[in-house]
Structure 1
């Protein structure tokens, strides 16, 4: 599997993002929150979006840097969820912290939130 983040895997449409916020479930490992929604449509198994609130980071430079860090951490660790889940998911990552973290911290939090997502999905699959 190639560890890239192609256009087909990006969650971009406003209606899809609103649907994830309205109907999705969430997993939180501070300072990251993952909203996810299983859906039937889509050409790719996962579509991911990233958001950093303007309330916590007034400077666009800081918000964009943090989104780049989140995308890179996701790109490097997405192989773990691609190989262990079935179905299509829309993922929305929110950064809840108030301070600009280093990349190792972001990557560690990304691994934690993705593993928590996998365990929650395994539990839901076992229940049904």
Structure 2
């Protein structure tokens, strides 16, 4: 698998984003929160991802853009955690909910923890749905 994050892997559809925030579940590892929903999407990839940083917490656009860039990069390098464990297509949005900026190494570790929590939670709900 190539470590890229192309156009087809990014969440851009307004309808899917609305569905995500109205019907989705969440997983949190401070300072990151992932909203996710299992749904069909137009991409050939198992999941589509978006990132966001609140303007309320980071007033200056360069600060928000830097955090979003770091979040996309840490996801891009670790997306095989998700891709190797999903059977159904998912859509998710990763939000930075902290008020202070953290460095790349910490963000990398938090992203890894968040993705493994997501996989564990989705596997648990899938197991519950199978059992009578």
TM-score grouping bracket, smaller chain normalisation: over 0.9
**What's the TM-score once normalised by structure 1's chain length?**
0.97
Write out aligned runs for 1:16-35 (5 A). Answer: 16-35=16-35
**What's the TM-score once normalised by structure 2's chain length?**
0.94
Number of residue pairs the alignment of both structures matches: 128
For the pair 1:10 / 2:10, whether they are aligned, the reply is yes
Structure 1 runs (4+) greater than 4 angstroms displaced? none
| Shift of residue 41, structure 1, vs aligned partner | 3.1
Distance in 2 of aligned mates of 1:40 and 1:82:
15
Distance in 2 of aligned mates of 1:45 and 1:36:
13
Distance in 2 of aligned mates of 1:18 and 1:40:
14
For the pair 1:120 / 2:121, whether they are aligned, the reply is yes
Aligned partner of 2:48 in structure 1 is 47
Distance in 1 of aligned mates of 2:85 and 2:109:
19
For the pair 1:72 / 2:64, whether they are aligned, the reply is no
| Shift of residue 42, structure 1, vs aligned partner | 2.5
Residues 90-120 of structure 1: per-residue CA shift (max 9 Å, x gap): 0100000011110011111100110000100
| Shift of residue 63, structure 1, vs aligned partner | 0.1
Distance in 1 of aligned mates of 2:92 and 2:32:
12
